[in-house]
Structure 1
Amino acid sequence: MAALKIIHTADWQLGKPFGRFPSEVSGALSEARLDVIDRIAEVAQARGANHVLAAGDIFDNVDPGDRIVLQALSRMDRAKLTWWLMPGNHDHARPGGLWSRVRGHAPARVRIVDEPCAVEIEEGAWLLPAPLEHRKTLSDPTAAMVDMETPAGAIRIGMAHGSITEFGASGESTNLIPPDRAQTAGLDYLALGDWHGFLTIGDRTAYSGTPETDRFGREEAGACVFVEVRQGNAPVIDRVETGRYRWLSRRWDLSILDHLHVELADLRSEHRLNDVLLDLKLAGAASLADRVGIIDELEQRVAHELRHLDLDGSGLVARPTPEDVARIDVQGALAGAAAILQARADAGGADASLAAAALERLYVEAMRSTAGAEA
């Protein structure tokens, strides 16, 4: 065989709970991880690949529940592809465990490779898997590939889940894979899982990354990898985006409400907000009126447009103007209270931040009272 077209993917982590989010957000994120199976199938069919190799962590844990298992298998069965699923560290193989249950439900299109034995996936092309039997192992899971025999001239594709030694791991690190394993085992391609971003090591080894991003710190969309594997030659490797949600981290330095509008316009021009989870930190100094307006717009409007907003406004300092204080109460006791709070906030002592927060609250309540009286 001269070449074989495959899709390499990993780290689906189906059934991940996303427990720190509200239920409507966690539910959407969990469902997206199932939906991405359909997009992987679309990529495979568009690129002419008949095989999908999933290099571990298909499931987030060893007991994902029947709905997750059956939903995943049903989606895979719809596509006219062969899916090769291998246990990783989150969903490691154990007798009578998850993979026995998956195998019991799996349609013919879904093949479980939970033993370190070479298997012919197409005439002249062999898969050499390194399934994990434990969540952590001190031994190299790919060592057995060196002695896995295949016919002369066959395409050899390794599949493993773990960390490349050069990532800086030391001591009793687990699931370590040497960076030259493709060369020492005579592999035409080594498909790796565990690292959630796309990464190539040399010309014959790659991490596909997760197909649906699941954490802040990775701003790129999730992806799979199209690979054209050629016996004896370096493979063609092409990253293809599949993810729906974008997890963005931003720091906006603001001083007036219009600055927020500029940042939001830029964000809307680049992304669909309903597909964005935003970790936003504010910085700068604004009048009390502008700070209240900025926070209010983010919490009462933008947060509802986004899939999710994590907002830290503590870095946006209020600098009350005389006009701000005058609007609280031109006469009466509130004016005196506002003056005292402003003085303490300006003094910068131990209770400055508390005084600033109290002044802001006083301003907000005064504006609400004024609005109610005018209604």
Structure 2
Amino acid sequence: MKFLHTADWHLGYHFSQFSPQQNRELSRARIEMIYAMFNYARKNSIPLILAAGDQFEDGNTADKKLLLELFSILHQYPEIELIMIAGNHDPLIQDNIYYRVDRIHYPKNLTLVEDNSIFDRYEYGCKIYASSLKEKNGDFDPTGWIDDDEKDELKIALIHGSLAIEGKYNPEDFPILPDAAKKKKLDYLALGHWHSYYKHDEFTYYPGIPEMISFKDVGFVLEVHLQKGRVPSVKKIDGIRQYNWEVEKREIKEGDFESFVKKEVKPDPRRILKLILEGYLSIGNYKRLQEYLGMLEVSFYKLFVENNIIIKPADDEVARISSEGYMKNILTDLLEIKKGKKEFPLEASVDVDRSEIVDECLMKIYQFFKRNGN
């Protein structure tokens, strides 16, 4: 059999560092992501989608229009079944969004799991063990109720919680035994809660958050193929995510500044970029950098800049940081080498920019003294 494994849509998420208009666009992107997922399932004749919780950022305050929009998508894909559990962000408690819409409006191809449930899907040759959370925090293992028996059919579990791996979980995040798939004799353990894709073993996966909300977490929708007695075939699906959040680190020095600002940048209106800049520049080039970054903003949906560039001090300022002793002699020698009054003391390849090496030495000495209060 084959199905899609997804989780952590976080519909209704608010982006604090974006404008109201951008918030509306990014919220819409989460809906478009769901459309893309269902469209992929249709094109590839995949009849089943398992959603492992946290479909909503806050199940108590989410606008029910979001749930109705999900229903609208399901109505357009009647041949695809969605089995969905609630997670710790949208637990099944009073006033939850799932209870604010009468069940008569639920699409026939949607199964919202309310209690510990076993679904026999003879047409797929499987049993699905699924459980929704009913509280935001808990110290119990949500797989604890699943039997340890081997089945003739494929045995799948759909669960929301944290694998109890030292350093990777909170004891109140519904800790799951790391060997749960093996212990419960599962052919596949479909998990939700962690926002980054994570393969724990051949049978245990977190897909992560498919439409990103930060730079640190990257998730996917997973296409899963199962055959009894064999290791699952699991593939990350490309083309589902609507916006890409990326981090790019660049070290800039005087010698490569021109190539940095003249490098062609391909505009991408669906790219959210965090640019981290390190290095040092003269005051003149630093001002040019500021102008360049201002022009660069229009190339992306949103540009965040972490500017750690140090303005390069003038030679006389460097010379003043140490007025006596061996350090004064070192600085004097370096400054004379830089001005061409003294030979470079080491053998070096002709490809090496010796003035850049000297500048690097001067900057490191300067930074050391500044950090230590000189």
2:136 pairs with 1:141: no
C-alpha displacement at 1:163, in angstroms? 1.0
1:195-224 CA distance string (max 9 Å, x none):
112221221111111111211124x5x421
Q: Does 1:273 align with 2:268?
A: yes
Q: Which amino acid aligns with 2:279?
A: G
Please give the secondary structure, in 2, of the residue aligned with 1:250: strand
Quick one: structure 1 residues 115 and 102, their matched pair in 2 at CA, closer, same or farther if it must change by over 3 Å?
A: farther
Q: Distance in 2 between matches of 1:167 and 1:83?
A: 33
Cα separation, 2, equivalents of 1:212 and 1:304: 22
Query: Structure 1 regions of 5+ residues with no counterpart?
Result: 323-347, 353-375
Q: Does 1:284 align with 2:284?
A: no
Aligned-partner Cα distance in 1 for 2:279–2:169: 41
Shift in alpha-carbon separation, 1:43–1:171, aligned structure 2, 3 A: closer
Determine the C-alpha separation between the residues in 1 that align with 2:209 and 2:118.
Answer: 25
Q: Which whole-Å CA distance do the structure 2 matches of 1:170 and 1:244 have between them? A: 29
SS at match of 1:187: coil
Distance 1:167 1:75 in 2: 39
How far off is 1:128 after superposition? 0.5
Rate the CA distance shift 1:43–1:67 in 2: closer, same or farther, 3 A: same
How far does residue 56 in structure 1 lie from its aligned partner after superposition? Answer: 0.5
Q: CA RMSD in A?
A: 2.7
Alpha-carbon deviations, 1:5-46, whole Å to 9, x = none? Answer: 100000101110112322232222211111100111122123
Measure, in 1, the Cα distance between the counterparts of 2:170 and 2:276.
Answer: 36
Alignment map for 1:84-99 (pairs within 5 Å): 84-95=83-94, 97-99=96-98
SS in 2 for 1:136: coil
Q: Deviation of residue 120 (structure 1)?
A: 2.1
Map of 1:27 onto structure 2: 24
1:170 to 1:33, Cα distance in 2 relative to 1, 3 A: closer
Aligned to 2:234: 237
Q: Hey, which of these two has a bigger chunk of helix by percent?
A: 1
Aligned-pair identity in percent equals: 25
1:317 aligns with 2:315: no
Say whether 1:200 aligns with 2:206: no
CA distance in 2, matches of 1:120, 1:166: 31
Cα distance in 2 for partners of 1:157, 1:171 equals 25
Q: Which residue of 1 aligns with 2:244?
A: 246
What is the rounded CA distance, in whole Å, between the counterparts of 1:121 and 1:95 in structure 2? 30
For residues 314 and 301 of structure 2, what CA distance do their matches in structure 1 show?
33
For structure 2, list consecutive stretches of 5 or more residues without a partner in the other structure: 317-365
Q: Which residue of 1 aligns with 2:174?
A: 175
Equivalent of 1:298 in 281, 293, 296: 293
In 2: Cα distance, 1:201 partner to 1:312 partner: 33
The TM-score normalised by the length of structure 1 is: 0.76
Aligned match of 1:130: 131
Per the normalisation by structure 2, the TM-score is 0.76
Deviation at 1:176, TM superposition (A): 0.7
The CA distance in 2 between the partners of 1:207 and 1:167, in whole Å, is 17
Contact 2:169 2:175 in 1 (8 A): no
Aligned-pair CA distance for 1:254: 2.0
Q: Which amino acid aligns with 1:186?
A: K
Aligned twin of 1:363: none
Counterpart Cα distance in 1 of 2:82 and 2:306: 43
Number of matched residues?
A: 313
> How far did residue 244 of structure 1 move?
2.2
Q: CA deviation at 1:48?
A: 2.2
How far has the Cα of 1:314 moved from its partner? 4.2
Tell me the equivalent position of 1:328.
Answer: none
Tell me if the contact between 2:261 and 2:292 (Cα under 8 Å) persists in the aligned partners: no
**Structure 1 residues 25-174: aligned runs within 5 Å:** 25-62=22-59, 63-79=61-77, 80-95=79-94, 97-102=96-101, 104=103, 105-123=105-123, 124-146=125-147, 153-169=152-168, 172-174=171-173
